[in-house]
Structure 1
């Protein structure tokens, strides 16, 4: 039986664990890496489901700043790949706000991507960009590739 068949079979099963109103603090070598808050977390054999969304703070110990992610629904597969949906907001440490309805996050390769309408707003200089056919970006939003874009650039 392949992995996809196992996941489909597992959907019909009861979760191994259910956590209610949970805050998770993850540290490596004594340094805080991230904080997750979620109203409900359901752990299955091959994935973890956040059916009512989450708030995630990813800390960068070098800059002492964080990236913030908020969404209505999240599925984590082996804690390596995330499928995120619904009212997504990602705020980078540099002041960029990304808004979209669906995004995929490949943690192993530190990339996010989608094929959905996405808005990026800079709180520092008023730039607004609209990607009609999605984006590809590094998870920290330092490198962003927009597909079929339009936008507003302030002229000083």
Structure 2
């Protein structure tokens, strides 16, 4: 069972989309194995609860403790993918830090990641 907790000061509903112009914090909580995924952004828009667009100071933390930071992310909920063409940093729980200068394509749980123009720090 997955629960979703949304925290936002303002939500605007329109016929074709919903807008969170003053930021949003999302918690996806799984009771078993008692883990959560966290996402925050300064702005969010979603269309038909399938396609989400996040902007500004984005932070995503998955249930394994990996972090993703960027200024823009698109999330296709139906395909379970996230992507962008912006500078993105991923901090892995094992100490690896990855820098994608030209964007990212990944599964929404960050298990499969494709980084564009990558550099990074890998602990040895």
The aligned counterpart of 2:107 is 138
Q: CA deviation at 1:81?
A: 0.4
Identify which of structures 1 and 2 has the higher relative contact order when contacts are C-alpha pairs closer than 8 Å and 6+ apart. Answer: 2
The aligned counterpart of 2:120 is 151
- TM-score, structure 2 normalization: 0.95
CA RMSD of the aligned region, Å?
A: 1.1
List gaps (5 residues or longer) in structure 1: 1-30
Does the alignment pair 1:43 with 2:21? no
Q: CA deviation at 1:58?
A: 1.1
The aligned counterpart of 1:127 is 96
Q: 1 CA distance for matches of 2:38 and 2:57?
A: 14
The aligned counterpart of 2:66 is 96
Larger radius of gyration between Structure 1 and Structure 2: 1
Q: 2 CA distance for matches of 1:79 and 1:69?
A: 16
List gaps (5 residues or longer) in structure 2: none
Q: Which has the higher helix share?
A: 1
DSSP 3-state at the match of 2:109: coil
Q: 2 CA distance for matches of 1:139 and 1:33?
A: 16
Q: 1 CA distance for matches of 2:25 and 2:103?
A: 22
